[in-house]
């Protein structure tokens, strides 16, 4: 969580605004710190044409602010570059565990993307958002019977993770012939990322062991009720390297070749996602186009080397689609200065609306929305309001001189913030607004104290 700033940075928060490059290439959202529409107007931060301080007055804090233009731009760049560089059919899926709600699912679906889901709740939400079942893929390493039945009844594709699930599906398939499945395999590929978000190495809870590949293919080939349409693998998240994906493509094409030996008509290849974003100035991820182009080329090269027809190519980005599109606004409260050690600056949220710093030691950047043109004169540690010493959002944040009531904005909070939010200390979860063309629409209502006790049950003998 230690925040490292470039030497000599003393200018205002406007340094974080999206770069207006003098090129014909589209600005890749994952390479920016703030949403694409962010601008400073008379010292105030605007996103989507909306003044952040006005949004706070209207909707309160903490507040997730989602920029529709940035999200749509990322969707379009993924969709268009895959169509541009891949000679076969392709389909981009949104990994909705990053942020699954009705509005987000509806936006990505309107851009032609499918949605990958990892629970019955995410599947139910996507279906109610109008996502076509033909573009829905259900993941998970321990799907319940209820989740599998919902997936079967809705007609989505089930990404089978293990032997237990495979045998369970065969038992459920008596009345549902032709269940579309993909097989998730562990490729045994390492990448430089946090150990909690590495999923491709062999020591992973996800996917079939590749050493059991022949046994899995043989079993599936004898099940007429299962329609195995594809293979899936995923190597992790927040990845900047290109070589792991090159290795993955080579391995997966070999699996395609092996599947053909068992007369399995595997026509889809899902290479997962994992492209990282720019959380700090030192982060240098590939652009969406660079990543997509590399994936398309290496899959085509691998298929040509094995003399195989091109499969339908799928990928499932999450973080790189939505993280930069959202910021979180907080109201600054109390301060505590410990001489010669640090100054703590408290905000009205913290680990319940953004658990990533305390969970992954994630690093963020922040600005003061109502003081965007003022010099950076303070180095503070931004502390959440929870009863937990580790509830620290950013260490050594450089900010202008602040006072209670100022509006702090933390960047890059669209991925795994709301989706991992909790009611720790019984704090209601924040509201979220979608901003576009100067208009703001509520997409998630702020929880109330009544919401917090809605599911509580008090036995009669305890009532007074």
The first and second tokens of residue 239, run together, are 């990845």
Which residues are CB-neighbours of 274 under 8 A, at least 6 positions away? Answer: 191, 193, 234, 235, 236, 237, 238, 239, 245, 317
Is residue 387 among the annotated active site residues? yes
Cβ atoms of residues 256 and 264 within 8 Å = no
> For the packed helices 120-128 and 102-110, what is the interaxial angle rounded to 10 degrees?
60
149-154-160-165 Cα dihedral, nearest 10 degrees: 0
* Phi/psi at 299 (5° precision): -70, -40
Whole-number pLDDT of residue 25 = 64
Residue with tokens 């079942």: 133
Q: Please name each of the domains of the chain with its CATH number.
A: 13-67+323-452 (2.40.37.10), 69-322 (3.20.20.10)
β pairing state of 268-270 and 312-315: parallel
Q: In Å, what is the CA distance from 1 to each residue of 237, 276, 365?
A: 18, 17, 10
The first and second tokens of residue 60, run together, are 């309160």
Q: Name which of 43, 15, 163 is nearest 407 in CA terms.
A: 43
Whole-number pLDDT of residue 7 = 36
- Annotated catalytic residue, options 105, 228, 326, 387: 387
Peptide bond into 402 cis (omega under 30): no
The first and second tokens of residue 37, run together, are 């529409």
Decide: helix, strand or coil at residue 55: helix
Rg (CA), the chain: 23
Q: How many CB atoms lie within 10 A of CB 327?
A: 27
The first and second tokens of residue 250, run together, are 């080579």
Whole-number pLDDT of residue 55 = 98
The first and second tokens of residue 14, run together, are 């406007």
- 210-242 confidence digits (pLDDT tens): 888 899 999 999 999 999 999 999 887 777 676
Whole-number pLDDT of residue 203 = 60
Q: In Å, what is the CA distance from 125 to each residue of 70, 179, 283, 444, 446?
A: 22, 21, 33, 13, 18
Distance, in Å, from the CA atom of 62 to the CA atom of 351, rounded to the nearest integer, reads 12
pTM: 0.93
The first and second tokens of residue 339, run together, are 């001489």
Angle, CA of 331, 336 and 342, to the nearest 5°: 110
Distance, in Å, from the CA atom of 448 to the CA atom of 335, rounded to the nearest integer, reads 27
Distance, first Cα to last Cα, the chain = 47
* Phi/psi at 254 (5° precision): -65, -40
Whole-number pLDDT of residue 12 = 61
Q: Name which of 137, 145, 138, 142 is nearest 163 in CA terms.
A: 142
- 235-261 confidence digits (pLDDT tens): 877 776 767 777 788 888 989 999 989
Residue with tokens 């652009």: 287
Whole-number pLDDT of residue 190 = 52
β pairing state of 378-383 and 157-160: unpaired
Q: Name which of 347, 351, 341 is nearest 368 in CA terms.
A: 347
Q: Residue 209: CA atoms inside 13 Å, Cβ hemisphere, count?
A: 5
Assign residue 260 a region (left: φ > 0; alpha: ψ between -120 and 50; beta: otherwise): alpha
The first and second tokens of residue 381, run together, are 């540690």
Distance, in Å, from the CA atom of 303 to the CA atom of 190, rounded to the nearest integer, reads 23
Secondary structure of 426-463 in HEC code, one letter for each residue: HCCCCEEEEEECCEEEEEECCCCHHHHHCCCCCCHHHC
Residue segments in the chain with a per-residue pLDDT below the cut of 70:
1-13, 20-25, 175-176, 188-204, 240, 242
Distance, in Å, from the CA atom of 47 to the CA atom of 369, rounded to the nearest integer, reads 10
Whole-number pLDDT of residue 209 = 87
């Amino acid at each position: 969580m230690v925040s490292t700033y470039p030497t000599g940075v003393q200018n205002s928060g406007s340094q974080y605004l999206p770069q207006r490059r003098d090129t014909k290439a589209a600005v890749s959202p994952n390479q920016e710190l703030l949403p694409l529409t962010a601008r400073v107007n008379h010292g105030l931060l605007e996103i989507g044409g909306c003044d952040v301080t006005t949004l706070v007055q209207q909707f309160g804090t903490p507040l997730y602010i989602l920029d529709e233009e940035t999200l749509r731009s990322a969707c379009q760049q993924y969709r268009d570059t895959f169509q541009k560089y891949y000679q076969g059919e392709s389909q981009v899926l949104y990994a909705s565990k990053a942020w699954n709600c009705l509005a987000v699912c509806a936006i990505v679906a309107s851009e032609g993307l499918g949605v990958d889901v990892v629970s019955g709740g995410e599947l139910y939400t996507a279906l109610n958002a109008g996502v076509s079942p033909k573009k829905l893929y259900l993941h998970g390493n321990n799907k319940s019977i209820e989740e599998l039945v919902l997936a079967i009844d809705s007609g989505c594709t089930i990404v089978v993770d293990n032997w237990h699930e495979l045998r369970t599906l065969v038992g459920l398939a008596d009345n549902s012939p032709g269940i579309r499945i993909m097989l998730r395999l562990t490729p045994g590929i390492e990448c430089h990322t946090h150990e909690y978000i590495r999923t491709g190495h062999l020591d992973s809870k996800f996917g079939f062991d590749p050493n059991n590949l022949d046994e899995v293919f043989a079993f599936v080939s004898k099940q007429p009720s299962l329609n195995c349409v594809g293979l899936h693998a995923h190597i992790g998240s927040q990845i900047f390297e290109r070589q792991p994906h090159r290795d993955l493509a080579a391995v997966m094409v070999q699996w395609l070749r092996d599947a053909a030996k068992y007369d399995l008509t595997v026509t889809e290849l899902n290479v997962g996602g994992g492209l990282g974003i720019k959380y700090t100035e030192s982060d240098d991820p590939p652009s969406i186009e660079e990543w997509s182009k590399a994936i398309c080329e290496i899959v085509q090269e691998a298929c040509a080397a094995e003399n195989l027809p091109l499969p339908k190519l799928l990928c499932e980005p999450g973080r790189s689609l939505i993280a930069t599109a959202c910021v979180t606004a907080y109201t600054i409260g109390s301060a505590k200065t410990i001489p010669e050690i640090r100054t703590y600056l408290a905000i009205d949220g913290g680990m319940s609306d953004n658990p990533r710093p305390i969970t992954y030691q994630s690093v963020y950047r922040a600005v003061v929305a109502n003081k965007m043109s003022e010099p950076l004169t303070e180095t503070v540690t931004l502390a959440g309001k929870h009863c937990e010493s580790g509830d620290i959002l950013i260490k050594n944040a450089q900010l202008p001189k602040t006072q209670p009531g100022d509006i702090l904005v933390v960047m890059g909070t669209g991925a795994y913030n709301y989706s991992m939010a909790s009611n720790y200390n019984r704090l209601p979860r924040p509201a979220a607004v979608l901003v576009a063309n100067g208009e703001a629409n509520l997409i998630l209502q702020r929880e109330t104290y009544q919401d917090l006790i809605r599911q509580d049950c008090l036995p009669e003998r305890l009532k007074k």
